[in-house]
Chain A
Amino acid sequence: GESVGLHLPTLSVQEGDNSIINCAYSNSASDYFIWYKQESGKGPQFIIDIRSNMDKRQGQRVTVLLNKTVKHLSLQIAATQPGDSAVYFCAENESSGTYKYIFGTGTRLKVLA
């Protein structure tokens, strides 16, 4: 079946450096993508989203890039801080009218002091 996946299960980054978390998706019909941050024992927290008619969207310290040609999504975090340590999930909207999400497997980001 179609799914969303991530290339790297764990990413270690030095504090202050930029982080890039990647995600591959296979459903070409998906038109909405979201990045969530999940800290241990907590629910996912919305970070940023992007629609399929955009290639890039910026937030505060975060940027999401969408490459529809290769079906790739990435989350860039600038000046990574210890508080950014968490598991990051990408999700795609199936675009079926029910707003159901398909979640990726997640990437753990470890920020090294």
Chain B
Amino acid sequence: GAVVSQHPSRVICKSGTSVKIECRSLDFQATTMFWYRQFPKKSLMLMATSNEGSKATYEQGVEKDKFLINHASLTLSTLTVTSAHPEDSSFYICSAESGGEETQYFGPGTRLLVL
């Protein structure tokens, strides 16, 4: 149980284009999903917290217009990197937790490379 998937697992795009990453909880309903960014050999940095049916809460320094988050259902959250630039290249990981349970279960991550 508690499986989280991400799609795509890897994406390469041109500078200036937008990329959408999906995060799905496969066998449970996720009232809250989290989006993280991870640079090589570094720890996870929380970008935003996403609650189903409401606006995401962004961490300080994360541009909400740059990283659009939509949590339209209890099993799906999406992160759209708008007008991507090479500095946006990173490993993006989502996690999900079911209502009231503090444990976060992580997806496999999405490797984004912006050329």
Contact = CB atoms under 8 A, between A and B. Distances in A.
B17 interface: no
B106 A36 contact: yes
Interface string B97-112: 1000011111111010
A43 to B, nearest CB: 4
Given A49-B103, A98-B49, A101-B104, A41 B109 contact: yes
Given A43-B93, A43-B107, A103 B102 contact: no
B44 interface: yes
B75 interface: no
Interface of B is mostly: strand
Max count, chain B CB within 10 A of own CB: residue among A43, A49, A106: A43
A41 B111 contact: yes
A49 B105 CA distance: 12
Interface in A25-57: 32, 34, 36, 41-46, 49
Max count, chain A CB within 10 A of own CB: residue among B2, B6, B103: B103
A42 B108 contact: yes
Interface in B37-70: 42-44, 46, 49, 57
Contacts of B106: 36, 43-46
A80 interface: no
B93 A103 contact: no
B69 to A, nearest CB: 15
Contact of A105 (B43, B57, B103, B111): B43
12 contacts: A43-B93, A43-B108, A44-B95, A46-B103, A49-B103, A93-B102, A98-B49, A99-B97, A101-B46, A103-B43, A106-B42, A106-B43
5 interchain residue pairs of minimum CB distance: A43-B106, A44-B106, A43-B109, A43-B108, A103-B43
Interface of B: 2, 4, 6, 32, 34, 42-44, 46, 49, 57, 93, 95, 97, 102-109, 111
